[in-house]
Chains A and B, each alone.
Chain A
């Protein structure tokens, strides 16, 4: 699964630390999601989408191998 988290974050002009604080996770978690090393749960994905005021599908997309 790929994501547009870094772009969405840049659009909103917030750091990983700020995003992490808003949704109650560590900065390492945001970094792991951004780099594709960790696929977040539905709850976390929804929380992220809420921060960016976007639909989950606009931030997270399935890839062919998924």
Chain B
């Protein structure tokens, strides 16, 4: 009953630092004309439904490391406990998650119908971080509103 899967409150700061590093790295990667390439062990490389290799060494760019960092940072920010994590905060968190899921689903449908070629891959790549960002923004706004209403009493 009391079990929840949230990180301790201190993880929020860790998440912010990781997110900041990843965000700066993302801008850096975008500005680079020739992004450095690395060799990484891969589960699959190539077209899964066509010609592909399993358990091989693949070449990858800087973005391969940036995206996991972005996601870890955002997960820590969004799913760390508040200083007082009570049932009201829990309900706001749940409502914000539902709202963000709907928004992400709408974006996914729009992207699927309107974005093609390599841009589609980028759009799909960005949908989960986008979902987390939407959730965090909504959650923070609702908490701010609750604080403001409470303060006015």
Show the binding face of A for B, using Cβ within 8 Å. 16, 24-35, 37-38, 40-41, 44
A26 to B149, CA, bound (A): 13
CB pair B146–A32 under 8 Å, yes or no, is yes
| A-B residue pair count with CB separations less than 8 angstroms | 40
Interface of B, secondary structure class, is helix
Q: Can you give 28 A-B contacts (C-beta < 8 A)?
A: A16-B150, A16-B153, A24-B86, A25-B84, A25-B87, A25-B88, A26-B84, A26-B86, A26-B88, A26-B150, A28-B147, A28-B149, A29-B86, A29-B87, A29-B88, A29-B89, A31-B149, A31-B153, A32-B88, A32-B146, A32-B149, A32-B150, A33-B88, A34-B153, A35-B149, A38-B88, A38-B91, A40-B87
Show the binding face of B for A, using Cβ within 8 Å. 84, 86-89, 91, 146-147, 149-150, 153
A41 to B150, CA, bound (A): 19
In the complex, which residues of chain B have a beta carbon less than 8 angstroms from the beta carbon of A41? 87
In the complex, which residues of chain B have a beta carbon less than 8 angstroms from the beta carbon of A38? 88, 91
**Closest 8 interchain pairs by CB?**
A29-B88, A31-B150, A25-B86, A28-B150, A26-B84, A28-B146, A29-B86, A31-B153
